[in-house]
Structure 1
C-alpha cells in the first residue's frame, strides 16, 4: 500500500520575499529565516524538517508504548537543529533530542522504555530518510514514573 501526500508552494520575489506552503493539513507562510538574511515570515525548510523529524519520532514512540501495553501519561520532546553555513553552503548537520516521559509503567521497565526511545528514533521513517546525511542524537532521556490516579 502506498500513501500519497500533496503539497503546493508559491513564492513571489527574491531572497527577502515570502510565500505560502499548503498541504492537506497545513497552510502557512514561508520565507528564509531572518538570521540568514531573509524576510523571517512564517516558517522555513529548516524548521519544517525539524518538525517532521520530531513529530515522526514522538508518534513512533507513542505507538511503541501502546503496542506493548505501557501507559504513557505525557511525552515531551525538545528538539534542536544544527545547520552549518560555510562558504555560502548550507548543511543540515544534526538534530538533537531531549526526551521527557511521564508514565505509570512500573519502574522496573526503565531499561525497556529507554530501549523504546532509541528504537523509535532509529525506526522513524523521517530519521531513516535522513540517514547518512543528518546525525540524529538523543542527548537526554528523563523518565518520570508516576502513580496511576
Structure 2
C-alpha cells in the first residue's frame, strides 16, 4: 500500500470575523469567512477552496480519461458552482455542479459525443475529491461539446 501525505499549516490569530492564513508546499492564501455568511470576505474561504479542490480534481480526471481514450481536444474549460444551504442556522454544502466545455475537431466520420458524455460521468465518479465527498455533497457534471 502506498500513501501520500499532504500537509497544511494554518494560522488564525483572531476571532470569527478576522482572517488567517493557510500554507502548503504550493499554495499560500489568506482566508476568512465569506460575506455571504456575515464574514469579512478577506482572501478566499473554505467554500471556495472545497469547490476549487472538486473542480481541479474533476477537470484533471476528465482530461486524463480523454487522453486514455485517444480523444484529441482543442480545448477544455470549465465553470463550477457550489451550492450551500442555510436552514435553521445550519450551514450545509449541498451540491457542486461542474460545467465542462470540450472543444474538439469536427470529424463527420468519427462522432465521439457519446463517449465524451460517458467520460464526463466517469470523471465525476473517478475523481478522488468526488469520492471523498460522496454521500455528503451531490456532484453533477453537465458537459457541453463544441466542434470546430
| TM-score class normalised by the smaller sequence | over 0.9
Give the Cα–Cα distance (whole angstroms) in 2 for the partners of residues 72 and 8 of structure 1: 38
Q: How big is each residue's C-alpha offset from its partner over 1:48-107, in whole Å with a ceiling of 9 and x where there is no partner?
A: 000000000000000011112211211111111111111221100000121210123745
Aligned residue number for residue 39 of structure 1: 40
Structure 2 unaligned residues grouped into runs of 5+: none
Matched, 1:132 2:135: yes
The match for 2:118 is 115
Residue by residue over 1:10-34, the C-alpha shift from the partner in whole angstroms, topping out at 9 and shown as x without a partner, is 1111111000010111000000001
1:68-83 alignment runs, 5 A limit: 68-83=69-84
* TM-score calculated relative to the size of structure 2: 0.93
Alignment of 1:1-149 (within 5 A): 1-104=2-105, 106=107, 107-138=110-141, 140-146=142-148
The structural deviation recorded for 1:39 is 1.4
Structure 2 CA distance, aligned partners of 1:93 and 1:6? 26
1:71 and 1:105 in contact (8 A); partners too: no
Deviation at 1:110, TM superposition (A): 0.8
Structure 1 unmatched runs, 5+? none
- Alpha-carbon offset, residue 143 of structure 1: 0.6
The ranges of structure 1 where at least 4 consecutive aligned residues each deviate by more than 2 angstroms after the TM superposition are 104-107
Check 1:37–1:4 CA distance in 2 against 1; reply closer, same or farther (3 A cut): same
Contact 1:82-1:92 at 8 Å conserved across structures: yes
How many equivalent pairs are there?
145
TM-score (norm 1): 0.92
Query: Pairwise CA RMSD of aligned residues?
Result: 1.2
Structure with the largest fraction of strand? 1
